[in-house]
């Protein structure tokens, strides 16, 4: 990982809304996984992009293939979920929405339902152990698996929303943006929305998705992941911007991920500035803190130093993220109170 963030950013209470479970595995946990499966011959360079390195989005997606081989049993998933939650808590994250794609592994007998139930069990254990973090879960639809699997995933998410006692709150559409077209997923996304699942959709992560974004914005989603190419200055359109603004759909913005994954040329060119200057709700997130070697506190520090944000502005940014979350009303209220009570020690 790069240099840890300064203490203000570490102590700042934070909300993480865009974190893919298998992309969030730390070096220490990865060591453990690699040592459990030496026959796979995995090197760290295959699962993380270190300081100063860049890779195309396509190359980053190769890393997930390797990681999935390392995480293929209930035991692995429980260990990874608990470790990732613990690391976010240690970084000052008070509310986390984790997302992950249900996966079946015939070799180990893992089913998609077991996969998600195991993550939920990890979330429960962290709570029982008294970790100072509230965690909710979004079931992810990987666009590479097509519309039929998407529909099955929505059914699973619906079931689990009911049985998980409020842990499962939404659905994510993610996966390689070059694969498939969003129109194929509209029926599944609509069904999810109708049954009360919140929608967090990756939109315009690459330049060629204008038409897809127009369509998916009609649903509309409750939050947008990345939205890198929505605005006209980068080949999007005013109509897309207007729709996002009219519906006040928050953006989940991941600076390091976009720069290391080469979808944004440099930090100062990140679309955070465009949306932030419009006063639009923006939430800083890590995306894949393991693959991109970052932490949420670093993302806040990076945004502050790149865009000249005062500590007060950084505080407001982290506090406003609460209202963009899918937490139920009383939890949002409790989190807001928490921010008030933590303020004196952060600004000490
Ligand atoms: C870099 N930007 C990104 N854009 C789109 N999808 C991404 C992503 N980063 C991660 N994922 C999605 O999350 C999966 C890994 O975590 P889980 O196995 O689900 O926990 C990837 O396979 C991909 O589908």
Residue 264 corresponds to which tokens in the numbers above?
């944004």
DSSP sequence for 18-51: EEEGGG---HHHHHHHHHH-GGG---GGGT---T
Ligand 1 in contact with 228 (CB < 6 A)? no
Residue 305 CB neighbour total at 10 angstroms: 11
* pLDDT, mean of residues 212-216: 97
pTM listed for this prediction: 0.98
Q: Is position 42 within any domain? A: yes
Laid out side by side, the sheet with 134-142 consists of 14-20, 93-100, 134-142, 168-174, 198-203, 223-226, 251-253, 282-284
Q: Which of 347, 346, 348 is nearest to 13 (CA)?
A: 346
Catalytic pick from 205, 252, 295, 299?
205
Q: Is 129 a catalytic residue?
A: no
Domain that holds residue 321: 7-343
Atom of ligand 1 nearest to the CA of 177: 5
Q: Is position 138 within any domain? A: yes
Q: Is position 141 within any domain? A: yes
Reply yes or no on whether the pLDDT at 3 is more than 80: no
Residues 162-189: pLDDT tens digits? 999 999 999 999 999 999 999 999 999 9
Q: Is position 2 within any domain? A: no
Q: Which of 23, 100, 115 for a ligand 1 pocket mutation test, highest count of atoms within 8 Å of Cβ?
A: 23
- Could you give the number of structural domains in the chain? 1
Report the CATH number that the domain containing residue 47 is assigned in CATH.
3.20.20.140
* pLDDT, mean of residues 207-220: 96
* pLDDT, mean of residues 232-255: 97
Rounded CA gap, 268 and 266, in Å? 6
Rounded CA gap, 83 and 104, in Å? 21
Give the single-character DSSP code of 14.
E
Q: Which of 140, 74, 61 is nearest to 107 (CA)?
A: 74
Rounded CA gap, 300 and 98, in Å? 19
Alpha helix (H) residue ranges in the chain? 7-11, 27-36, 57-70, 74-90, 112-128, 146-163, 186-194, 210-216, 238-246, 255-260, 272-277, 296-307, 311-324, 329-346
The complex's ipTM works out to 0.99
Q: b or e along 182-192 (b: 16 or more beta carbons within 10 Å of the residue's beta carbon)?
A: beebbebbebb
Residues 83-139: pLDDT tens digits? 999 999 999 999 999 999 999 999 999 999 999 999 999 999 999 999 999 999 999
Q: Is position 1 within any domain? A: no
Ligand 1 in contact with 60 (CB < 6 A)? yes
């Amino acid at each position: 990982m790069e240099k840890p963030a300064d203490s203000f950013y570490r102590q700042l209470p934070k909300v993480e809304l865009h974190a893919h479970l298998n992309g969030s595995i730390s070096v220490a946990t990865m060591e453990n996984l690699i040592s459990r499966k030496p026959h796979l011959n995995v090197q760290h360079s295959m699962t993380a992009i270190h300081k100063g390195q860049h890779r195309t989005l396509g190359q980053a997606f190769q890393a997930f293939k390797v990681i999935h081989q390392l995480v293929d049993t209930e035991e692995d998933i429980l260990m990874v979920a608990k470790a990732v939650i613990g690391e976010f808590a240690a970084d000052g994250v008070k509310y986390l929405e984790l997302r992950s794609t249900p996966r079946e592994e015939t070799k180990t007998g893992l089913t998609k339902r077991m996969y998600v139930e195991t993550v939920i069990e990890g979330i429960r254990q962290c709570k029982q152990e008294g970790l100072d973090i509230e965690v909710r879960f979004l079931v992810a639809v990987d666009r590479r698996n097509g519309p039929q699997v998407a529909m099955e995933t929505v059914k699973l998410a619906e079931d689990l929303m009911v049985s998980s006692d409020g842990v499962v709150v939404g659905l994510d559409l993610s996966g390689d943006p070059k694969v498939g077209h969003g129109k194929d997923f509209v029926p599944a996304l609509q069904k999810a929305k109708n049954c009360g699942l919140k929608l967090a959709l990756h939109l315009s992560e690459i330049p060629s998705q204008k038409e897809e974004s127009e369509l998916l914005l009609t649903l509309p989603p409750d939050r947008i992941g990345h939205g890198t190419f929505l605005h006209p200055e980068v080949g999007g359109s005013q109509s897309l911007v207007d729709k996002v603004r009219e519906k006040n759909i928050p953006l989940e913005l991941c600076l390091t991920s976009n720069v290391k994954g080469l979808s944004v040329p440099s930090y100062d060119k990140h679309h955070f500035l465009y949306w932030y200057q419009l006063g639009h709700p923006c939430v800083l997130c890590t995306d894949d803190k393991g693959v991109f070697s970052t932490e949420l506190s670093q993302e806040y520090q990076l945004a502050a130093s790149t865009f000249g944000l005062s500590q007060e502005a950084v505080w407001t940014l982290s506090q406003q993220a609460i209202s963009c979350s899918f937490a139920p009303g009383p939890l949002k209220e409790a989190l807001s109170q928490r921010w008030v009570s933590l303020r004196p020690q952060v600004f000490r």
